[in-house]
Structure 1
Amino acid sequence: MNNTWWFQRFTDYAERAFLVEADTVYNYSALTARIEDYHAEFKQSGVQAGDVVALHGDYTLNGIAALFALFGLQAIVAPITSTSQAEITLREEAAQAKWRVQARKDLLTQQLAETTDPHDYVVRLKQSQHPGLILFSSGSTGTPKAMIHDVENLLAPFAHKRARRLCILIFLLYDHIGGLNTLFNGMATGAKIVVPPSRNADVVAQAIETHKVKLLPASPTFLNLFLMSGAVERHDLSSLRFITYGTEPMPDSLLKRIKEQLPDTALIQTFGTSETGITQTISRSSESTLIKFDDPNTEYKIVEGELWMRSKSQILGYLNHEMSRFTADGWFITGDLVEEAQDGFLKIVGRREELINVGGEKVTPSEVESVLLELPEIADCLVYGEENAITGHNVAAKIVPNGEHEPRKLKRLIKQHCRQLLSPYKVPVRIVLVDENIFGERFKKLRAKQS
C-alpha cells in the first residue's frame, strides 16, 4: 500500500488540512495514520485481496480511510450509504459481499455468509492484483444494477493532477460516481474538503462562509433550492469561485438566475455516468448549458441524437445484469439525448426514456421546466407525460408554488405563460399543485411513475 501513488501523495501533503468534519479539522497525516491502522486491522480480521466488502460509511475520516485501506488490500469495495435494511440487503446480495464493514463511527468488521462462486469480473480483478469498486444504479424499484470498476483505471487520471490550494465542499453522496470523483480529485490535489452537517441550504451556505469554500459541486435541483431558500442573501459567499453542476439537465432559466445571484462565480457543467466515469468537459460560458468533451481518456459519438461513450475508466461490466447497453466494441449507450451546435459544443437535453410523445411530437421535460421556472410564483416543478387515449400522452406538470397563491389564478397564469413561449403540444394539459418535495435524497428530480 505504501508504494501506491495515492498514499505517497497523501504523505507529501501531511501538514495540509484534509477534512473538516463537524467541528474538527483533520490533516493529511491523520488520514495516512488512520489508513495504516485500518489496513492492519482488516488484515488481522482476514480480509484478503479480491474479497468483496460492503462498506457502510460516509465522508468521515473513518469512512474515507476505510475505503483507501481496502483499496490498499486490493479488495473490491461496495460503498453503501442507505439506512434502509431492505435496500442494504439488496445491495449486499447484488455485490455478493463477503464482508460488511461499518465505518461511520468505530470500525466494525463482520464476515458474512459464504456466497456462491465469485463472478468472473471479481476473479479477473483478483488475478490482476487490482482493487475494485462496485457502484449501484439509483433505480427506486427492483434489484439495483451492480457495476464493477477496476480502481486502477478509475484513479489513473488523478495521478497526474497537480497540487492546488483549494477548499471544496463535498455534496454528492459517498456511493455516487460524482461524489467519489470530487473526493478523488480533492485528495489528489491536496485540497481541504468540507463536509456539511446536512444538505440543508442554509447549512451548506454557512459552511461556505465559515470555511471560505471555493468550489461547490451540486445538482441543478439543489441549486434551485439554494436560491429559493434565500440562503444566498443571508450568507457571505464571496469566497465561492466555482460551482460545478451535473447529474441532470440544467434549465436555462435557472442557470441565468444563479449567475445573476452569484455574478463572480464561474458555473461549469460536468458530465459522467456510473458506467463510464466522469468526463472532462469545457463549458462554453457560465451563461450557457453548452459543453464540449475534452478528455483524452474518453471517446464519444452521437447516434440518432443519443450520446454514446467509450472510456478507459469504464466498468468491467455488471455483476447481476445483462450488457445490452454496451455494444460489442465497447460503446456505452448512455440514454442521454443531445443537440449539436456548429462549433462542436453539445447540449444535454434529457433522457430518451423521459421523452413525452404527444401525437408523434417529442417533448423534453427540461425544456418545459425551464419555461415554468421563469415564473417567480413557482419554486420548483416537475414535467412528465400522462397517458392519453388519442395522442398517446399529454404533458403534465407538478408545481411547487413559491408562497401562497389562489390555485385557479396560478394555474391560469402558468397556462398563459407557457402558451406565449411554447408550441401548443408542449403546454401542460394537467397542472397539479403540490407542497412536497419532488426530488430524492440525491437532489435529482423523481420522474418515475408520476401520477
Structure 2
Amino acid sequence: MKFTHPFLQKLLNYENLKALIYENQEYSYKDLLLKTEEKITQIQNATQERILGIVGDFNADCIAFLLACVELKKIVVPFSDENEIENKLKEAGISVYFKENDFIFKEYSPSSHKLLKDLKEAGLILFSSGSTGKPKAILHNLNTLLESYLSKKAKNMNILLFLMFDHIGGLNTLFNCLSIGACGVAIKDRKNVDSLAFSIEKYKISLLPASPSLLNLMLCSKVHERYKLSSLKLITYGTEKMPDSLLKRLKAEFKGVRFHQTFGTSEVGIAQTKTYENFIKLENIDYKIIDNELYLKSKTQSLGYLNASNEAFRADGYFATGDLVELVKINGEEYLKIIGRNKELINVGGEKVMPEEVENVLLEFDFIADCLVFAKANALTGQSVAAKIVLKEGFCFDSLELKKKIKALCKDKLAPYKIPSKIEIVERLQMSNRFKKVRK
C-alpha cells in the first residue's frame, strides 16, 4: 500500500493492530487501509467532482471514504443523516454524494465561492446545527486539521466513537484514535444508554467522550449499577455547559475515573485544555474576552463560511464564539469557566438570566433528575423563566405543587426574577443529534 498523505502514511505503522469495532464487526488498520485504496479507485472511476458529500457513520466504508478524500485532495462533506440534506447540498454546491457504498448524483451547480477556489489541498465542510437559523457551511483546510495529529505517540486503548460523524468533536475523536493506533468502538443507537454501557463493559473501553446531557442520562438510568464500567479511565465532556452539581454527582458515582472538559467549535477546531474542577485552561490557542464573550484564534481555524456573512471572524483573526465566560486565577494560572451561550440569555424586564445557572440550582434538589430552563414570552416583562422538569423515580407532584416547592427552595439561592414562573413536568428531555439539550 502506498499513500502520499502523511496522515495515511502514519497509519501504515499500525497495520497489525485493531482499528475499529462497528456494530460488533472488527477491522484491523490493514483492513481499513485496503478499503481506503478501494475507495480511491471507486471515487476516481465515478466522478471528477472536487466536493464530495458522504452520508454515514463511523463504519469502515465511511471512514475509508473519508481517508480516500484526504489522499485525493477532495473536499469532503460528512452528514450523519439526511435531515435537510437537499438544502445543504445546494448551499455547498455538492452535486454528488456517497451513501451505502454507492454514489448519488444531483444537478446542483458547483459553488464559485472564492474560499473554495483558493483551497488547493484536502478540505472539510461542516454544517452548524442550525439551532439559531439556517445551518452554516464551514470550510476547513483538512491538511491543517490533520497536521496537529501527526506527532501523537502510539497508545493501546479502546475509545468510544460517541459524537457524530458530521461533528467537529466526533471527527476529533476519530482522528485522535487513528493517530495513536487505538481502536475505535462505535454503535448506531448512541442514545440508548444500555447499549453504550454494554459496549463499555464488553470492549473494555477506557475513554468515553460524551455530553453532560448523556452523562446525566446514564446516571438517571443507573447503568453504572447494572454494568461493569471499571475499564473507564477517562471521561471527556463538552458540546454544552456541565452543571457543577452534575459533575459532583458524576465524580461520586464514577470513582477512579478522571473527568476532563474539552472545548472547541466547528469554526476553530478543538483546543487543548487543562482542567481544574469545572474550569478550563486553553493551552494551544489564542483568546481574548470582550464583554464576557470569548473570542478565539487558532492554527486549526476554519477558512470561513460559504453561505453566510463572515463578520464573526474579526479582522485581527479572532472568532466570536458566542460563549460567555468567567475568568479566574487558580495557582497563578488563568482559567475560564463557561457560563452559557450569548443567544440563550433570558431577558426578564432588562435583567439577564443564564439558563444554566438556574439549571445548576435545580439539579441540586433530590427530587429532580433533569431539567431544561428556557425563555417564555411575557406580556409585562418581555420574557420570563420557564422550566421543564424530569422527576426522579418515586417522586410525584402536580405542576402547581412542584412550582411552590421549587419557589420555596430557590428563594435563598436565586434572585426572584430568576426563579421559574412556569413549570412543566415531562418524562424526558429532548436531545439533539449532537447530544445537547434542545432549547427551542
Short-chain TM bin: over 0.9
1:234 matches 2:223: no
- Given candidates 273, 287, 306, the residue that maps to 1:300 is 287
Q: What amino acid maps onto 1:25 in structure 2?
A: E
- Is the contact between residue 93 and residue 111 of structure 2 (CA under 8 Å) also seen in structure 1? no
Q: CA deviation at 1:215?
A: 0.3
CA distance in 2 between counterparts of 1:117 and 1:179 reads 26
Alignment map for 1:17-166 (pairs within 5 Å): 17-47=18-48, 51-84=50-83, 87-102=84-99, 104=100, 107-116=101-110, 118-125=112-119, 128=120, 130-140=121-131, 143-166=134-157
Indicate the residue corresponding to 1:191 in structure 2: 182
Q: What amino acid maps onto 2:93 in structure 1?
A: Q
2:296 counterpart SS class = strand
Provide closer, same or farther for how the CA distance between residues 419 and 265 of structure 1 changes in structure 2, counting only shifts above 3 A: same
- Given candidates 250, 253, 256, the residue that maps to 2:248 is 256
- Given candidates 213, 216, 234, the residue that maps to 1:224 is 216
Aligned length: 433
1:356 matches 2:346: yes
Q: CA deviation at 1:306?
A: 0.6
Identity of aligned residues (%): 44
Provide closer, same or farther for how the CA distance between residues 396 and 73 of structure 1 changes in structure 2, counting only shifts above 3 A: same
1:113 counterpart SS class = coil
Q: CA deviation at 1:436?
A: 4.2
Alignment map for 1:260-339 (pairs within 5 Å): 260-284=252-276, 288-295=277-284, 298-339=285-326
Give the root-mean-square deviation of aligned CA atoms: 1.5
CA distance in 2 between counterparts of 1:194 and 1:117 reads 36
CA distance in 2 between counterparts of 1:379 and 1:438 reads 14
CA distance in 1 between counterparts of 2:48 and 2:223 reads 45
CA distance in 2 between counterparts of 1:410 and 1:4 reads 59
1:12 matches 2:13: yes
Gaps of 5+ in 1: none
TM-score for both structures, normalised by structure 1: 0.93
- Is the contact between residue 90 and residue 143 of structure 1 (CA under 8 Å) also seen in structure 2? no
Runs of at least 4 residues off by over 6 Å: none
- Is the contact between residue 94 and residue 143 of structure 1 (CA under 8 Å) also seen in structure 2? no
For each residue in 1:187-208, what CA deviation from the matched residue of structure 2 results, as whole angstroms up to 9, or x when unmatched? Answer: 0011111112421111101100
- Is the contact between residue 20 and residue 26 of structure 1 (CA under 8 Å) also seen in structure 2? yes
For each residue in 1:300-319, what CA deviation from the matched residue of structure 2 results, as whole angstroms up to 9, or x when unmatched? Answer: 01111110001111111111
CA distance in 1 between counterparts of 2:329 and 2:397 reads 45
2:340 counterpart SS class = strand
CA distance in 1 between counterparts of 2:132 and 2:244 reads 31
CA distance in 2 between counterparts of 1:247 and 1:420 reads 30
CA distance in 2 between counterparts of 1:21 and 1:391 reads 51
For each residue in 1:216-261, what CA deviation from the matched residue of structure 2 results, as whole angstroms up to 9, or x when unmatched? Answer: 0000000000100011110111110000000010000000000000
Q: CA deviation at 1:140?
A: 4.5
CA distance in 2 between counterparts of 1:172 and 1:425 reads 36
Provide closer, same or farther for how the CA distance between residues 310 and 155 of structure 1 changes in structure 2, counting only shifts above 3 A: same
CA distance in 2 between counterparts of 1:40 and 1:393 reads 57
- Is the contact between residue 155 and residue 180 of structure 2 (CA under 8 Å) also seen in structure 1? yes
1:139 counterpart SS class = coil
For each residue in 1:46-66, what CA deviation from the matched residue of structure 2 results, as whole angstroms up to 9, or x when unmatched? Answer: 335xx1111111100001000
- Is the contact between residue 197 and residue 203 of structure 1 (CA under 8 Å) also seen in structure 2? no
CA distance in 2 between counterparts of 1:46 and 1:92 reads 16
TM-score for both structures, normalised by structure 2: 0.95
